[in-house]
Amino acid sequence: MLRRSHPSGGNRLVAEDGSLVVTTVLPRESESVPLARRLVRHTLADWRLPHLADAAELVVSELSANAVEHTRHASFRVTLQRRPDSGVRVAVIDKSTAEPILRPWDDEAEGGRGLALVAALACRWGTDPLGWGKRVWADLEPDQRQEKQPVSTVPLYASRRAQLVYVLIVAVLGALLGAAIVCGAP
C-alpha cells in the first residue's frame, strides 16, 4: 500500500485492488468521535462523494462511540475505503473480540440503538473477527435509499407514542387556530 498524509489527520493508502483508503488511529476517548466524523466529511468531499457524508458521519459516530465505550485498549482505527461502485465502506477496528449486538428496538431504552441505525443506513454491514480484535464495517452506496426501501413503505411514525404526540400537537394547533378565528385575530 502506498501511504500519504491526509489533510484531516488520516493516512491515504492505495489498496492492493487499487481502491483508495484513508485511515487513522484515534485515542479511545469521547473527543475522538467528532474527529472521526471530520475525517469522514473531509475524505468524502475529497472523493467527490458529499451525498454520502451525512450517512457516513452517522455510521462512523455510532461505530466509534461503540469502540470508545466497549473496548479497553487505548486506541481504535477508523478506515474509509472507496468502493468501485462509487460507494464507500466505513470501518472501525478495535482490539476487543466481543461481537457487537444488534438489539431489538425498544421505545423506552435510553441507548442501544447505534447498530440499528447503522443497519438502517447501510446497504450491508457486518463484523470481521481479527483474532486480536474485530472490524465492524458498513457499506454505503449512492442510491441505496431508493433501492433498499421505497419512500411509500417507510412508516410515518416510529412508535405509538410518536403518533399520540403528533395527534396532540395537531389538536392543540387546531384549537388555537379556531380560537384565533373566533376572536378575529389574523
* Nearest of 100, 105, 89, 90 to residue 160 by alpha carbon: 105
* pLDDT given at position 107: 72
Mean pLDDT of 51-65: 95
Residues 6-19 pLDDT 10s = 445 678 888 888 88
> What pTM, to 2 d.p., does this model score?
0.70
pLDDT confidence bin for 116, thresholds 50/70/90: confident
* Residue in 24, 18, 31 with CA at minimum distance from that of residue 5: 24
Q: Are 40 and 97 in contact (CB under 8 A)?
A: no
The confidence score (pLDDT) of residue 175 equals: 65
Asked if pLDDT for residue 53 goes beyond 90, the answer is yes
Class for domain 2-148, per CATH? alpha beta
pLDDT score, position 166:
64
Q: pLDDT at position 100, please?
A: 87
Ordered by start, the domain boundaries in the chain are: 2-148, 155-183
Q: Cα 140–80–133 angle (5° rounding)?
A: 105
Write out pLDDT tens, residues 120-168.
999 999 999 998 999 999 999 987 543 444 444 434 555 556 666 666 6
d(CA 175, CA 171): 6
Q: What pLDDT digit, counting tens, does each position of 19-46 carry?
A: 899 999 999 999 999 999 999 999 999 9
Average pLDDT value for the chain: 80
Judged against a pLDDT cut of 80, whether residue 91 lies above it is answered with yes
Confidence of residue 58 (pLDDT cuts 50, 70, 90): very high
pLDDT of 17 reads 83
Terminal CA-CA length for the chain: 68
